Structures are given as C-alpha cells and as structure tokens.
Amino acid sequence: IKIHITDRDGITHEVDAPTDMNMNLMEIVRSYELAPEGTIGVCGGMAMCASCQCYVESDHELPEMGDDEEAMLAEAFYVEDNSRLGCQIHLAPEMEGLKVTLAPEE
Ligand code: FES
C-alpha cells in the first residue's frame, strides 16, 4: 500500500509499505530513514517510549488502542486527539492512502 508520512521537518513522503510482513508504522519510518536513528522506536515497539508517536491525518479506521498504548499516550508530550503510537499500528490493506505526521521528538 502507499502511505504518506510527514517527517519532523514537515516534508511529506509517499512510501510503499508492505502489508504481508507484519510491519508496523514505526518500522516503516525507520526503514525509510524518515527520522534520525535513535529518535524513533527507542523501546523497540513495546509501547513504552512514545518516540513513535504520530498524528493520524486521514480518516482511516485504525485498530482500537490497546491498554498499553493508551497508558503511554496519557503520559507522553505533544499528545493530540489523533495521536497514536506508530509501533502499535500494523499495516493492513485497508490503510491504503493513510496520512500521518510524526510528532515532535520528546
Ligand atoms: Fe516505543 Fe512505539 S517504539 S512506544
């Protein structure tokens, strides 16, 4: 699928994201090097750091937040109503055209 990721410099990238590799959004950002090493995915995708926080800009229905994600976002900085943890969003075909913006670095 194609998704649109706006990096922390405000530049939007259209990237190809596989849906058959059980990858999450944080891993996609890392694989395309859209954020410097060490500033995203710090906890390795365990919903424990919020470095992968992003704002969902399109109106896609995403999987519900788990308790871990909700708890982490309750403590994180720069949280908005459309905040999610990228590492908790596993890519699926219905996310074609998804638009997200990376939250500022904490
Ligand atoms: Fe740490 Fe997502 S990578 S919360």
Domain boundaries defined on the chain: 2-102
First to last CA, the chain: 29
Cβ distance 52 to 23 under 8 Å? no
Distance CA 19, CA 1 (A): 7
**Is 39 strand, coil or helix?**
coil
The closest-lying atom of ligand 1 relative to the alpha carbon of residue 45 is 3
CA of 43 to the centre of ligand 1 (A): 5
- Above 90 in pLDDT, residue 106? no
CA of 47 to the centre of ligand 1 (A): 4
Q: Label residue 27 by pLDDT band (50, 70, 90).
A: very high
Q: Which two tokens stand for residue 28?
A: 């996609």
Q: Label residue 37 by pLDDT band (50, 70, 90).
A: very high
Q: What CATH number does the domain located at 2-102 have? A: 3.10.20.30
